[in-house]
Structure 1
Amino acid sequence: MRRTQKTPHRAAGEETALAAAWRASAPGLAAVVVFGAAVNLLKFALPLYLLQVLDRIPASRSVETLALLTLMALAALSAGAALDIVRRRMLTHWGYWIERRFGPELVARGLGGGASARRPDLDAALSDLARIRAFVTRSLAAWLDVAWVPVFLLGVALVHPWLGGLALAACLALVALAVVQDAVSVEPRRASGAAGRDAGALLAVADRHRESIGALGMSPALAERWSNAAAGRLAERERLDRDRALFRGLMRALGQAMRLGMIGLGMWLFLRGELTLGGVFAARVMAGFGFSVVEGAARSSRALGAARRGHAAVRAALAVPPAPAPDLHPGTDRAALRVEDVTHRHPGQRRDLFRRLSLRVAPGEMLLISGEGGMGKTTLAHLIVGIESPRHGRVFLGDTDVAILGPEDRARLIGYLPQHVELFAGSVRENIAGMERGSLVDVTDAARLAGVHDLILGMPEGYDTPLSPETFDRLSGSQRKRIAIARAFHGAPRLVLLDEPWANLDAPSRKIVEAGLRHLKAAGAIVVVTQSYRSGSLHRLADTHLILDADGFGFAPPARAERPARGALRRVK
């Protein structure tokens, strides 16, 4: 029966990471709202100042009153500006706090865990988090101020209803322009993004294979392909920029028309005796405040939409707390590896790579997996270390399913060399110790077993020599492979799996690694090695030999595995 993974659910009363962050942020957000209210209320100092100065000072001709009103208005506006700076700095701090708070957790969930872990799309999750941070730091203040637009328009209407109607109509027209702009830019943005991803993917692949491209003279053809993809992106971006210039010009024209209309209509009402001169300019200023807030929100409407989608995606990724690492059954670190009734094929394939495969490898024994390319050696390796789950059956280390091992237990129990070796930016020591500082004794022991100790000592800073994408090419394929093998040997793991370890290794290096494998077997480790071609030395080391081919799989004693008789293999089709 096919094993299914149950999706974990949040327990009753259990707080999600996002809910905890909202709770921790509540006092600061309350302060931001209070400061925003103060900032917008203090803006009314200017229209009130205009009412008093234009309506009362000409009649009273009091210089003292004029000076006092001016000082009071300046104090109010200065206080509002200071509070606005504090509010925006608080939002900036909160935005970066969000990214620092959830970035590591998203990376840990995206990279960690075995086959049973629920892993979000890491690039997409981090992009969503960056969009949230960008909105909070740049645009959230403008959207918080939108709540005060009706207050500004109400102030205009109290001066005169006709002026209030004109200001409201201008704001509604501005919203309509923003909606139309967003609608007409959807398709160009989608096409531009797709073309940009295609061009970026082409460059990323080309950069990884620069040597082959140069040797084969492929650069003109690839440059033309990139140019085609980039041309499509540039065409769509040009269309977007033209539309943006058009709508921004229309918005500016609308704002100027509204301000001109407020003055013109206000003066007409003044001439009719329905409005004072101070009221004309006070209404004009309040209408300008409301229009400016709507304009700022309209220009950041895309940022709001991206932040809302990002929040939904991050909330989904963090909705369920990570499952706690299971308690290991007693004796797991001394138990055998068991593959029980495993059947597997990749999605979209009709033929099983292997069907009802069962085997047992005791501590101190070695399993050798042989087969030509495409027969499933690497896939079986993934199943054994728990980074994939079989369609049917299970893989155990003792009584523990390897697919549910937590990161700490996995790092302690399993050493793994992937078929395609990767080094990471950091020191040589950190690369061997799994990107931790690690005990120098354990690191040097692993390096000696992999035959790379002397090479590392010859580097400029020894084990502290920094590695980076710029310096990786200075190491040969054999040197990179041996550093990665040392990583698999580090800490004397109980299960060591090497996927195609002989690739890029010369004969002396192979002999050193063979000696390391013998040492690990003698120490009680379970060793699993895959190979595409026959190696007599690995055959002699192996206690069990599994052969994968188009007919299924079969077992043969190592001494007879070089050319096994057909009758000597038990095959499953």
Structure 2
Amino acid sequence: MLAGLRPYLVFAGLFSLAMNLLLLAPPLYMLQVFDRVLTSRSDETLLVLSVAVAMALVSMAALDIVRAYLLAALGTALDRRLGPKVLDGLLGEAARLGSREHASALRDVHCLRRFFSGSGILALFDAPWLPVFLLVITLFHPLMGAMALAGALVMLTLAFVNERMTRKPLERSQAEGRRAARFIDTSLRNAEVVGALGMLPAVARRWVELNEVALVEQTRATRSGAAISGLTKFARQFIQSAMLALGAYIVIDQQVTAGVMIAATILLGRALAPVEQLIAGWRALVEARGAWRRLSQLFAAPATAEPHTALPAPEGRLAVENLVFGVRGVQRPIIRGASFSLAPGESLGIIGPSASGKSTLARLLIGVWRPSAGAVRLDGADVSMWPRESLGPHLGYLPQDVELFAGTIARNIARLDQPDDAEVVRAAQRAHVHELILRLPQGYDTELGEGASALSPGQRQRIGLARALYGTPRLIVLDEPNANLDHDGEQALLATLHGLKAEAVTVIIVAHRPSLLGGVDKVLVLREGAVEAFGPRSEILSRVVRRAA
């Protein structure tokens, strides 16, 4: 994930090295003031030393600013690089009936950006230079070096204990928090049902149950972290006091000067500060590490193989070959060995009882879901292997539940691309929804809010049909396209189907109402995921009628 971004980290590390070396300036300045200036009473020496330490501090401040800018730029670059990839992966995962383990991946990207742009990562860059400070203290006096090393080991031990005690509870708290958030998202999508059926108290109780688990784990981690944080602060102050006492002892013993005592104590405090900061900001570090792990898993998923050669626009010849589709955890496949074919311009009606797999078959036909076995071929090419950006313009799809995006109607019909006015109007006219759109407050420029709640379900379905017809699709799959239509809307739909027939567009209709099947060429009966019958419309429908009688 950091390919191309490593220079940011390399330069940040180099700046950290320079800054930590410059941090030696104040203690050494104090050492020289105590041991040289005060004894020699030389104004010139004091001036030179003061100018030198001022230059070192200015340089350190400049490097600190540049390092902060560099890490902020790294966070922004990481967000810009991963954001589109994560969104593509999430939409692909959602469309392919995948798990929801990565549903919070965009939040994970933002978490990494905040971490790289915040102060928590600075401690990670400063902590590795602890041995440099220990070496300088050892050069002052071996006993001081031994004391500093012992103090550093104590602080590192506390950091290790903090990791062991808080990591698991924090990870469980984050996982349960994401689970509670997903439950709220689901509840908001079903707000009408929740309100109509009086489910709000039950929804609230369920959320409290889920959130309580997260709170318990968070409290456990907080208590452990607070205890370790308190011990860390005590340990750091105690170690510095012990260093001061040791320094005073060897000063009295005339082994070192008072300046060495002060300088060593300050250096030790500076050496231990990043470790204390790491422990104090451990939660942010755990969150960033968890986000990194989840994103790594997301990007480690096998990529869809894509043809290396651009394929010509399809004519609409469809072949379904021994199609099988199942989901993990369900023993019986949803689609079992389906096979049929359509010539360019033919139309097919798919019928069958509820839960027979009709909508699943529709999704497989357009390549949104990948089959477990078999293939769906459009003009000989496997649609699940065809790059979606290349295949999409040649397909039209109207799902059962039509969702429109925030934006203008024109933008929705144009599939969120920059609208081609002529093509948008043409698609609306082919869908016989042009007049309906013109009656809206601003016509094609009418802004739709989130969920397009200002439109009725029937209006959304008709605009969704126009979106399916945008451009020059050669295969159109309509899943119960008249589910929300009134009589006028259904007549407009029939006129649209008649027009598509005249244009020799291959059309597949999943339907419950037989009124839509009057103009189709063939009918497929699907039962329990298997093709029960397939053939000319009159033959299959008469067989279905005889069986029903």
Match of 2:486 among 485, 489, 506: 506
Distance 1:119 1:426, change over 3 A: farther
Instruction: Give the letter aligned to residue 375 of structure 1.
Output: S
Tell me what 1:555 maps to: 534
Give the stretch that moved more between structures: 546-555 or 372-381.
546-555
Q: Is 59-68 or 85-94 further displaced after alignment?
A: 59-68
2:74 corresponds in structure 1 to 94
- Answer yes or no: is 1:564 the counterpart of 2:546: no
Which one of 91, 100, 106 corresponds to residue 111 of structure 1?
91
Supply the AA of the counterpart residue of 2:80.
Answer: R
Structure-2 residue corresponding to 1:78: 58
Change (3 A) 1:459 1:202: same
Identity %: 37
Question: 2:155 — aligned with what?
Answer: 174
Let me know the Cα RMSD of the aligned residues: 2.9
- Asked if the contact 1:57–1:66 (Cα under 8 Å) also holds between the matched residues in 2, the reply is yes
The structural deviation recorded for 1:165 is 1.7
Q: Residue 545 of structure 1 contacts residue 557 of structure 1 at CA under 8 Å; is this kept in 2? A: yes
Q: Give the aligned partner of residue 202 of structure 1.
A: 183
- Alignment-derived partner of residue 14 in structure 1: none
Letter in 2 for 1:546: L
Q: Distance in 1 between matches of 2:97 and 2:178?
A: 28
Match of 1:246 among 203, 216, 227: 227
1:346 CA displacement: 4.2
**Partner Cα distance (2:99, 2:201) in 1:** 39
1:165 aligns with 2:143: no
Measure how far apart 1:298 and its partner are. Answer: 3.7
Equivalent pair of 1:363/1:521 in contact (CA under 8 Å):
no
Question: Which residue number corresponds to residue 19 of structure 2?
Answer: 39
Does residue 514 of structure 2 align to residue 528 of structure 1?
no
Q: In 2, Cα distance between the equivalents of 1:190 and 1:69?
A: 50
User: Residue 169 of structure 2 corresponds to which residue in structure 1?
Assistant: 188
| Correspondences of 1:129-278 after superposition (within 5 Å) | 129-138=109-118, 139-278=120-259
Which residue number corresponds to residue 415 of structure 1? 396
Partner of 2:37 in structure 1? 57
Alpha-carbon distance, 1:246 to partner: 2.0
Question: Contact between 1:117 and 1:404, CA under 8 Å: does it hold in 2?
Answer: no
State the TM-score, normalized to the length of structure 2: 0.91
User: Contact 1:114–1:406 (CA<8 Å) still a contact in 2?
Assistant: no
Compare 202-211 and 540-549 and name the one that shifted more: 202-211
* Distance in 2 separating the partners of 1:183 and 1:61: 54
Residue of structure 1 in register with 2:309 after alignment: 327
C-alpha separation between the residues in 1 aligned to 2:215 and 2:99? 34
SS of the aligned residue for 1:383 comes to helix
The one-letter code sitting in structure 2 at the alignment partner of 1:178 is A
Counterpart residue identity of residue 99, structure 1: D
Is the partner of 2:323 in helix, strand or coil? strand
SS at match of 1:474: coil
Cα offset, 1:452, TM superposition = 2.8
> Cα deviation per residue 1:23-76 (whole Å; 9 max; x = unaligned)?
xx43x4443333222211111111111111111122212233323322321221
Q: Which residue of structure 2 lines up, in the alignment, with residue 481 of structure 1?
A: 461
Matches of 1:251 and 1:394, distance apart in 2: 62
* Paired letter, 1:233: A
Structure 1: segments with no counterpart, 5+ residues: 1-16
Higher relative CO (Cα under 8 Å, sequence separation at least 6) belongs to 1
CA contact (8 A) 1:149 1:294 kept: no
Say which is worse superposed, 274-283 or 390-399, in terms of deviation.
390-399
CA distance in 2, matches of 1:425, 1:165: 65
Preserved contact between residue 396 and residue 475 of structure 2 (Cα < 8 Å): yes
* C-alpha separation in 1, matches of 2:310 and 2:40: 89
Q: From the superposition, tell whether residues 195 and 95 of structure 1 become closer, same or farther in structure 2 (CA, over 3 Å).
A: closer
State the 1:504 CA deviation.
Answer: 0.9
Q: Distance in 2 between matches of 1:355 and 1:42?
A: 71
TM-score between both structures, scaled by the size of structure 1: 0.87
